[in-house]
Structure 1
Amino acid sequence: MMKMWLVCGFVFLSSLTCVLAWSDWAELMPDAVMDFIDNPMRRSRIPQFILDARHPWILENKRKLESLPDAEAFLCGLNGPSDKPDVHVNNGLEIPGDLFHHLEIDNNRYGISRPGWPNALRRLREMKRCPQALALVKTFTVNIYVHDQYSDWFLRVREPSRPQIESLKLFGDVLEAMTGLETLKWELSAEHAHWFEEAFKHRDLTLPSPKHLLIGPLSHYLVGMCPNVEAIEDIELTCWKHSPHQSPGLLLVRSTSSARNLTRLALHACFEGWTPELSREVLEYMPQLTSLGLKNGFEPMYIDAAYTLNPPRPEGKLLRGVLAELANFPNLTHLDLPASYQLDLGFDGGPMCGNAYEGPDGTRYQREVLAEAYKATELGGAIVAEVLPHLTSFTIGGYQPNITRDEGVISNVTWPWTGHLDEWLMVRVPDHDEL
């Protein structure tokens, strides 16, 4: 019996060692082998990063490209695409000038099932071999999902615990080569941000071309590396995976002191919600803003138990408090606010479950809820016009009203449903028998 237990234990430890070792030696395997493991049916001659970009011309001409002796050389060679009209006679193909305007490293969208770090490494190697792509890209998206204990085992065992050293170097190489880059979408979760911050700061990475940053939590270090950035937006996925002692929104705000060209900020205030204090922080670091987006509301996500014992606040009190601080921005002309149910206007959004709206009675109820939402939106718009009359435009929940101005201030606000709410509701929520 003892021998059997020893044998079983040895087998278990050996298997565990193999699983743990896989992520280390898998990165040393040729890319072709790893691509075969990711997708055994793939036989494409086109680099995967080009396929991932899903350019319509590639999708339309994929069969012709596959018939070329070397599709990669054709697409990435010296006679590759340019912004000037250039006809390439090769199997009747003409490469469009915008072929490489959008590139991505993304294993986190529908239809892709690859481990995060290995996928990034292989895509970076492909891009490094294609200088045409790096020279012409205008928008670069990085979205890496690192498979953990909740993922399928065949993805989990191939996922290193951290990015490969080669990956960190290649990221710096390809970013520096993207001399025409306009928009950088850096969608990484908080727990992996420090790897890139350390690597990029070590090489003193500077990206002078990007004008628009869309960044994930704790990736605020990118702001200082993009000295000419004009617009910054954070990603809302950030609120669940960071220390409560590190507010990603506040860290992002305080990283902008060197961004002298910044005119637009869209910020999710995470757990704390937007407060007058946060608004003052934004004013301190970015007084030059002309456009501001508040991507969530004013209630903290965790409310003290005593909250329910306190007298109810007047509708719009929190909104007025934040807007009063925003009135101190000398150049602010546009404001984006979240949906009315997030603005402390007495409307909670109604049932979030679709079951409440099933059947004829549910249809009528849904119209009632929407009518309340529009009423709250109108109230919010009236408060905005009162507190910030100098704005030239604003939105609430994506709806933009028509504004009438008189002597430089807002005198009247009308919404798409103003004067015909019943008809508007019937279009949005038709009768049950018309569905």
Structure 2
Amino acid sequence: MKFQDLLNILLLRSLSLIPTKSRGYTIKGFTIYFPPEDVEELEWIYHTIPIILQRPWPLKDLLVRWPPKFPLFMADARHPLVTEHYLRLNSHKDITTALCTLDSSDPSRQSLERHLSSRGIRFPPHQEVFSTLRITNKYPEVNRPGPGWQSAIDRINEILNCPATLANLQSLEVDIDSVNSEQTATTTIESSAGVSAEVAVVSVLLAQLLPLAPNLEKLSLQVQCSSTQFFERDFELMGVRFDRIRHLRLGPFSEYMVRFAPNLEILESGEYYACQYGSVLPGDPGVWLLEAVEALPAGMRNNITTLSFRPWGSLTTGHVKDIINAMPNLSELSLDGELEGSKSWYFYKPGMEKVLQSYLRLISHLPNLQTLKLPVAYSLGLGFDGGPWCGNAYDGPAGRETGRMVSQQRAETAELAAKFALQEMPYLSRLSVGGDETSSINHTMSYSGRMGGTIEAAKVPEVRWPWTGRMKEWTFEEWPMHKPGEW
């Protein structure tokens, strides 16, 4: 059935549309799935339905003008004011002025506040609405026809014309995974000829935007590898400095950004999807990031207290040594990637921990470390391979049982890794393995890190996990009982 045919039927019968977790919608007990070509046939289906269908709506309410009257960057932020009250906002006269003005006495703003208040809706402070924004085409709910760069241009211009946003913006994500129509997929800066002029427009606009946001503290910059050179060039030419930024999350080839943030405290390796078009990178973006930090003055390097590090391939002891040299004052370290030299057998054998221990001994040379986040359990070479990698293995009642078994093995491997970590660093206050974090670390003795190059006390603390003393119950929380009709 074509989507338009379904639309006509629903209009005639005044049925309600209820979203499911997939690209389907349930209508009086029946789930309808739309082929991608039908979904893309109507521009608003890509954006309007995911935003306004948080609960059942009469379909006639979906027939609103698209695009909305308010700036699209507000919809992308998915604040409850928009997701829950989209229709009321869209029906308000001069909604952009009402939302963007800093003047609380502005007639359009007062009118909107009265309109919402009369229906028991709180008008939130600007800081709550605009503190976190994203400019992205990565997620399906914010995809729009046309190149991602043009969408970014439109969104940045909207933000530049919204004083309330500039004044209250604290965290900005720029995440454009787009190869322009006239550009072939490339992985090196040298081969970026043919990048459209739109990329340069985005870089200039962003260089204008960032200094105008006085409260901006976190920036995530992940753009096409072959395009990021334009951002570096324009930031240099315009003399941009981000004195207030404390937190950077950077994709490949964007490591130059550390030079523009003199008060940087938190540094993250971003995703590498923007460079994964079947070609091989001419190096390791993780190494490039560490080299960029090492080139900074000592004062800037010593200010960095939190690092989330992801290499292109395996995690090596060389990476860890470079981390220690570049950022000696880290209090929190998060690592990703399979340990080089580790082997994933199907069970643990004594001696397998030697590879992990070699990494932990190096990490213990960070004198201020309090929080350590190790890679996922199957990357540590402790006899756990992650379980079946085919999703079908977890289908049905037997599949749920398989899932519980794998979860228990993962938990037991996390406990083993934590044991070795605390043998080297018993003073840690937080520890996690993959996404599994300790509930508590009980220090029965007083630890204050290292003194004179030796650990002050050698007794390993008592560790509790979410599954401690209740492993079976926890595995059933991870993998509930199978119900008829479920996969």
Does the pair score TM above 0.5?
A: yes
- Report the TM range for the smaller structure's normalisation: 0.7 to 0.9
1:200-215 correspondence to structure 2 within 5 Å: 200-215=235-250
The answer on 1:117 being equivalent to 2:152 is: no
Q: Please, which of 143, 151, 165 is the counterpart of residue 133 of structure 1? A: 165
The equivalent position to 2:465 in structure 1, one of 403, 411, 415, is 415
Question: Residue 317 of structure 1 contacts residue 344 of structure 1 at CA under 8 Å; is this kept in 2?
Answer: no
Mean Cα deviation higher: 335-344 or 100-109: 100-109
User: What amino acid is the match of 1:254?
Assistant: E
Instruction: Report what 1:145 is aligned to.
Output: 177
Structure 2: runs of 5+ lacking an equivalent: 1-42, 48-63, 116-122, 184-193, 448-456
Amino acid across the alignment from 1:101: S
Cα distance change, pair 49–362 in 1 and its aligned pair in 2 (3 A): closer
- Partner of 1:19 in structure 2? none
One-letter amino acid of the structure 1 residue matched with residue 315 of structure 2: W
Q: What letter matches 1:403 in structure 2?
A: I
Q: Is the Cα contact below 8 Å between 2:179 and 2:224 reproduced in 1?
A: no
Structure 1 position 42 matched with structure 2 position 66: yes
Name the structure 1 match of 2:303: 261
Change (3 A) 1:293 1:95: closer
Name whichever structure is richer in helix by fraction: 1
> Cα–Cα, structure 1 residues 362 and 64, in superposed 2: closer, same or farther, change >3 Å?
closer
Task: Give the CA deviation at 1:137.
Answer: 0.6
In structure 2, what is the equivalent of residue 77 of structure 1? Answer: 101
Give the equivalent residue in structure 1 for 2:210: 175
Contact 1:215 1:234 in 2 (8 A): yes
Aligned letter for 1:424? W
Deviation digits for residues 253-307 of structure 1 (CA, Å, limit 9, x no counterpart): 1222334421000011221x22211111011110010000002221389x9xxx9
1:89 matched to which residue of 2?
A: 110
Match of 2:312 in 1: 270
What TM-score, normalized to structure 1?
0.78
Q: Distance in 1 between matches of 2:399 and 2:167?
A: 54
Residue 397 (structure 1) aligns with: 434
Alignment of 1:99-118 (within 5 A): 99-111=129-141, 112-114=143-145, 115-118=147-150
Tell me by how many angstroms 1:416 deviates: 2.5
Distance change in 2, residues 1:431/1:261 (3 Å): same
Structure 1 equivalent of residue 51 of structure 2: none
Residues 80-119 of structure 1 show CA distances to partners (whole Å, capped at 9, x for unaligned) of 699xxx9942141546332221222112212222321111
Deviation at 1:78, TM superposition (A): 4.7
Q: 1:64 to 1:247 in 2, by over 3 A?
A: same
The equivalent of 2:413 in structure 1 is 376
Q: Letter of the aligned partner of 1:225 in structure 2?
A: F
Q: 1:149 to 1:325 in 2, by over 3 A?
A: same
**2:423 paired with 1:386:** yes
- Residues 102, 140 of structure 1: 8 Å contact kept: yes
Deviates more, 1:399-408 or 1:213-222: 399-408
Decide whether aligned partners of structure 1 residues 137 and 430 sit closer, same or farther in structure 2, where only a CA change above 3 A counts. Answer: closer
Query: Is 106-115 or 118-127 further displaced after alignment?
Result: 106-115
Alignment partners' CA distance in 2, 1:43 and 1:380: 51
* 1:279 aligned onto 2:320: yes
Please, which of 160, 182, 185 is the counterpart of residue 220 of structure 2? Answer: 185
What is the TM-score normalised by the length of structure 2?
A: 0.70
Shift of 1:350: 1.2
Question: Is the Cα contact below 8 Å between 1:292 and 1:336 reproduced in 2?
Answer: yes
Code of the residue aligned with 2:111 in structure 1: it is: N
1:224 and 1:368 map into 2 onto residues whose CA distance is: 47
Aligned twin of 1:354:
391
Which ranges of structure 1 fall in alignment gaps of 5 or more residues? 1-34, 152-158
Shift of 1:164: 4.2
- Percent of paired sites with the same residue: 29
> Structure 2 residue aligned with 1:321, among 342, 348, 358?
358
Does the CA contact (< 8 Å) of 1:136 and 1:180 recur in 2?
A: yes
Residue type of the alignment partner of 1:177: L
* Range with bigger deviation, 282-291 or 160-169: 160-169
Runs of 4+ more than 6 Å apart: none
CA RMSD of aligned residues (A): 3.4
Q: Secondary structure at the match of 1:105?
A: strand
Distance 1:367 1:144 in 2: 37
Amino acid at match of 1:281: D
Amino acid in structure 1 at the alignment position of 2:358: G
| CA distance in structure 1 between the aligned counterparts of 2:228 and 2:446, rounded to whole angstroms | 49
Q: Which residue of 2 aligns with 1:240?
A: 276
Q: Which stretch has the larger CA shift, 42-51 or 141-150? A: 141-150
Asked whether the equivalents of residues 360 and 431 of structure 1 are also in contact (C-alpha less than 8 Å), the reply is: yes
SS in 2 for 1:99: helix
Distance 1:47 1:344, change over 3 A: same
Q: Taking structure 1 as reference, are residues 380 and 245 closer, same or farther at Cα in structure 2, changes over 3 Å only?
A: same
Equivalent residue pairs, number: 382
What residue identity is the alignment partner of 2:338? G
Alpha-carbon distance in structure 2 between the residues aligned to 1:71 and 1:182: 28
